Chains A and B, each alone.
Chain A
Amino acid sequence: MLLSIEGLTKRYQRRDTTFAAVDAVDASVERGDFISFIGRSGSGKTTLLNMIAGLLAPTEGSVRLEGTDLYALNDKEISRLRNTRLGYIPQGLGTLANLTVFDNVRLPFFLDKRSGDASGRASYLLEAVGIAHLRDMLPAQLSGGELRRVLIARVLMNEPDILIADEPTSDLDVETAMGIMELFATINKRGTTILLATHELDTLEFSKRVLSMAAGRLTEEQRA
């Protein structure tokens, strides 16, 4: 098992009441899985993905990556894990405006000590996601679909075990969204585990498993 989620809970205080954005979620993810988390806005998908990505400490429960409890690690250790094994594409955080497309893609390589051909890999990834011609552009000069491709190329820079994406096709037209989903499917076929949150049912055909969130609780949808 690649990822094990046990009793994962995140509670928030809202005035005098406490509510659980994620409520005692248990799940397991195998290597090579392609899981879509579906649910309405506010159902807890993003909170769950943030906790799986090691960005938000849970109130209760644990997230274990091949046995390692993410929230038992110190800042340096969990940062290294995010840099090497957990690739995350948050919904709201995109590219770094001061860096070119090429540098945005290369950046994760330089956030930890490692050797290798960063430029060669970045060029290959830009080619693979179909935006090699945009490498010297600044993010402000790109369309929404092109920006998503930059984010996908960047998240693959350090060859993570798990790619987590929050609403990767929101605000995109159907054709562009399908192109992005096909890209995820290709990446998954090459061995990367993919977890993504979506509320666009059209994209579910690319997933191997669909998990539904409602009021912080998770249930598995049976595929026909």
Chain B
Amino acid sequence: MKRPLLELTDAGLYCEQGDFFIDPWKPRGTAVITHAHADHSRYGAEQYLAHHHSLPFMRHRLGKSAPLSGVEYGETVERNGVTVSLHPAGHILGSAQVRVEYRGEIWVVSGDYKVLPDASCAPFEPVRCHHFITEATFALPIYRWQPDEVIFQEIRAWWEKNRAEGKTSLLYAYALGKAQRILQAFAETAPGPIGVHGAVLPYLSGYRAAGIALPEVLSANAKHAPILRGEGLIIAPPSAASSPWTRKFAPHSQAFASGWMRVRGKRRRRTLDRGFVLSDHADWPGLLEAISATGAEMVSATHGATRALVRYLNETGIPAKPLETPFTGEDGTSDQEEGRS
């Protein structure tokens, strides 16, 4: 029997013919990287290939001397007869789907993606393929997103209300991607000063360099606390939520921007004041739309509610199977994943 073009090994998805890995989680030879989030872009490869917008973020994480090379979307790279190219995934700036072709057989690895428009990165592009490996973080029909404008308007209204009450607005969002996506919404007009936590700061210049307009921001530290307190919006990673750092800005209202906030129990468990339903992953209709647009004859689902998605696809006539990767957290409720989503 013919070996599949991409296979799961203990180090990650591997293409034997082209001798490269996609988002490997162990130190191995050549790594094609879908995007710069920590669990997809790990330390230790001999060579990295990623979209050029991802490079500044990867350099920050992997070190200045990391062997990175960047390509444009659609640009092809040949490796032992295998053609590799990256295509916009709409997840964060520089995020890509990886298209792998060998002797006319095409596989696409989605990485993390979303299909709704996001002004901070290139929009998702469906790529026709035979075998589609899709993420499934929010693969349940309870997850349906609203357009960004609606959510940004909610955030703005919350900020204005807090400001009227003399409270600082602390908004928790993943430091790379979600933070900048929210920031760009306030590039033109903002109800007050904007601060960012130290974890967010290193990722701003990459966005600015890519031509995404971001507002002026202050580093949310003790020095700037008097300016931000009671007035400002501060964007911080979810891990800062219970840290003493927040006390600098009291009184405050705290909110979390994540797809998980769609579910009341997950929102209440964090004992925050507000939850904004804003995700960098595809919602249920988005997943179905993306899968159908690929025209794939086989779908592998990984990362999240794979069981439900696989069964649903099979029942609707699209052959599908689960693919176990360490990106998986069942129901996707681990903290790290909630933070990123």
Q: Decide whether A and B assemble into one complex.
A: no
